[in-house]
């Protein structure tokens, strides 16, 4: 009876752990970014002679849609990149650019990501776009049913990837208005493969009011 009791207790504890892992109780809550925080982020171009600039250059005139990529080689990230890229024709009509930031540049990872993403990509070495409070999902992610659903969805969509690079710091998507218009949409990945809704991105992009230069006002 003693061994049976221990075994039953262990199974009960495992079942409880599995249930709790599939709730949002233990997920770290994202701290919302402010426009002032995003504006001062240093980004680098990916050229042979990189240029460092403030992130506000990306949206100052026409706003922007920006993907903070968790890991370029991740097939779930590639799926989301392809979804956002499908909006590019409509974003072009609105005059709103599409960008991505990555937190590291390893071998050909960014180059291999580019077929899935139809915008410019920049390096965020200090991982500021993943803040103000960086959130990680570790191995708990692999017992979440939502993550497995996301895995199967992306695989069935024909996406594949690799295990290169850091992939635990969660990413997100921002739609930022021009000038001081502010952050119109902020989607924070809560688990691996938690994609932004493309319809929401487009709705937010339509709210962007491009800056008018002095010469155009005359």
Query: Residues with catalytic annotation?
Result: 74, 77
Question: Taking a C-beta distance cutoff of 8 angstroms, is the pair 208, 177 a contact?
Answer: yes
In the β-sheet with 98-102, what is the strand arrangement from edge to edge? 52-54, 42-44, 120-123, 98-102, 64-68, 172-176, 183-188
The CB density around residue 56, as the number of other CB atoms within 10 Å, is: 18
- DSSP result, 99-160: EEEES---TTHHHHHTTT--SEEEE-TT-GGGTTTT-B--GGGGG-HHHHHHHHHHHHTT--
Bridge partners, residue 64, by sequence: 176
CA distances from 199 to 4, 16, 82, 117 (A): 53, 36, 14, 17
DSSP helix, strand, coil percent of the chain (3-state; round to 5): 40, 15, 45
Angle between helices 75-85 and 198-205 (to 10 degrees): 40
């Amino acid at each position: 009876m003693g061994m049976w009791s221990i075994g039953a207790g262990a199974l009960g504890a495992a079942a409880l752990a599995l249930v709790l892992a599939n709730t949002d109780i233990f997920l770290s809550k994202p701290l919302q970014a402010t426009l002032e925080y995003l504006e001062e982020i240093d980004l680098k171009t990916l050229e042979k002679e990189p240029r460092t600039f403030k992130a506000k250059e990306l949206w100052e005139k026409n706003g922007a849609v920006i993907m903070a990529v968790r890991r370029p080689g991740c097939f779930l990230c590639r799926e989301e990149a392809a979804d956002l890229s499908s909006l590019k024709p409509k974003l072009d009509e609105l005059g709103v650019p599409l960008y991505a930031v990555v937190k590291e540049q390893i071998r050909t990872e960014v180059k291999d990501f580019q077929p899935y993403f139809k915008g410019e990509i920049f390096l965020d070495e200090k991982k500021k776009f993943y803040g103000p409070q960086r959130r990680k999902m570790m191995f708990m992610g692999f017992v979440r049913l939502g993550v497995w659903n996301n895995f199967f969805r992306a695989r069935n969509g024909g996406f594949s990837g690799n295990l290169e690079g850091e992939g635990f710091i969660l990413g997100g998507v921002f739609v930022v208005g021009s000038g001081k218009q502010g952050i119109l949409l902020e989607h924070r990945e809560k688990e691996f493969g938690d994609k932004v809704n493309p319809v929401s991105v487009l709705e937010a992009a339509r709210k962007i009011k491009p800056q008018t230069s002095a010469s155009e006002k005359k």
